[in-house]
Amino acid sequence: MSSDDPAIGPDHSFTVGASLPGTRGRTGVIDTPHGQIHTPAFVPVGTKATVKTVLPESVAELGAQAVLANAYHLYLQPGPEIIDEAGGLGAFMNWPGPTYTDSGGFQVMSLGVGFKKVISMDVVGEQNDAATAAGKERLSAVDDDGVTFKSHLDGSAHRFTPEVSMQIQHQLGADIIFAFDELTTLMNTRMYQENSLERTRLWAIRCLAEHNRLTRERTHRPPQSLWGVIQGAQYEDLRRKAARDLVTMSAMDQADGGRGFGGFGIGGALTKDDLGTIVGWVNDELPQDKPKHLLGISEPDDIFVAIENGADTFDCVSPTRVARNGAIYSRDGRYNVTNAKYRKDFRPLDAEVENYSSQYTRAYLHHLFKAKEGLAATLATLHNVSFIVQMVDGARGAIEAGNYIEYRDDFLGRYYASSRSSGS
């Protein structure tokens, strides 16, 4: 089949904008069938086709350009067939803009060993491929063909392969989907990381083949962009090899009439200290005319580091998760509104961040959390998502205006000043 066949066609486009001198950072625009994403951009997580506690319309009004949902969770409930029948993820959840879905690769790790995917990976001690988090049962088993796992909902047995992941994500209908991968942890040995990287490479080849087949078959749906995922943990040679392998794979697929990868995801085990270094290694190997998504970050300093090392978009559940426990982002640092000192604090959550929650006081949210009212989580979530979205929008504007360094230093200087002064 020729590369100009309308059933395959060109992938979603990405246009590079302004560059950030002395860094790998840049602005750009990702074009999708459901609208544009101006990068760098923060993508809120809507795991089960919802950003928890808030309306999709509210998320759009905050300025979020896209949302990311979870293929594993939507596969289990309500099922990809139902979302496909509804017209795809966006139509199902009444979200008008671009959408992402992950591949289920994260659940390979979290169900297998029980470690949370945060920057630190929450692991200490000697490397041990059999390690599991304290008190956790292994619910998944990886082999070279795919993953067998138990549902966390009812214990039923399921099987994910690269082909199954592609079939699920095509039914979910997101604009941007990710190749099926194995997410390792920092507990894994070097030998395991090498074997896992080869497994993920072979899975990516299968993902491309199945993606191309489904794209030809499902011409009644908008085209989707498949992004390869780069693993390799903390090892420079493995990270660079993974990136080069995906670039070669994509070029070969396109030469054979396929779509290739429309972009690349950067995932896997890393620490906060080496985040920028790893993203930099990867970006040195990847084509500059393709967008890159960094999976699972949200703290302000991490986001700035990611931007400067070439990440175009990024997602994380943290802003919404901590909001549901009363943690509020502000220009002067993060604080917990449930603390007693906010009981009579009639200031807005952050006087410098204008959003829907600006009209409500800290005292009111303190009351709502103490009274266990659902509105507490809604207002806190709206505020935190808005805070991160506006912060990244500001960084994008600063790159375009040529004053990024000043913007970054001012933002982070204020945000972390309170923790530095308290010694925390």
Contact present, 162 and 210 (Cβ < 8 Å): yes
Residue 297 in tokens? 């970050």
Give the DSSP H or E segment for 38.
strand 35-39
Supply the DSSP symbol for 361. Answer: B
* Residue positions annotated with a catalytic role: 102, 315
Alpha helices in 218-314 (DSSP H): 236-255, 275-285, 300-308
Q: Give the Cα separation of 235 and 226 in Å (integer).
A: 25
d(CA 343, CA 369): 11
Residue partners of 152: CB distance under 8 A and separation at least 6: 111, 139
The CB density around residue 335, as the number of other CB atoms within 10 Å, is 18
Which is nearest to 316 in space by CA: 306, 325, 308?
A: 306
**Which two three-digit tokens encode residue 411?**
């933002």
HEC per residue, 169-180: HHHHCCCEEECC
Answer whether 214's CB lies under 8 Å from 166's CB: yes
Distance in angstroms (rounded) separating the CA atoms of residues 274 and 82: 41
Q: Coil, helix or strand for 190?
A: helix
Confirm if 187 and 113 have CB atoms less than 8 A apart.
yes
Tokens read off for 179 = 């190749």
Tokens of 23: 């860094």
User: Rounded to a whole number, what is the distance in angstroms from the first to the last CA of the chain?
Assistant: 60
Alpha helices, H only, 114-260: 162-172, 190-217, 236-255
Other CB atoms closer than 10 Å to residue 262's CB: what's the count?
24
- Name residues whose C-beta falls within 8 Å of residue 371's C-beta, 6 or more positions apart in sequence: none
Three-state secondary-structure class, residue 141: strand
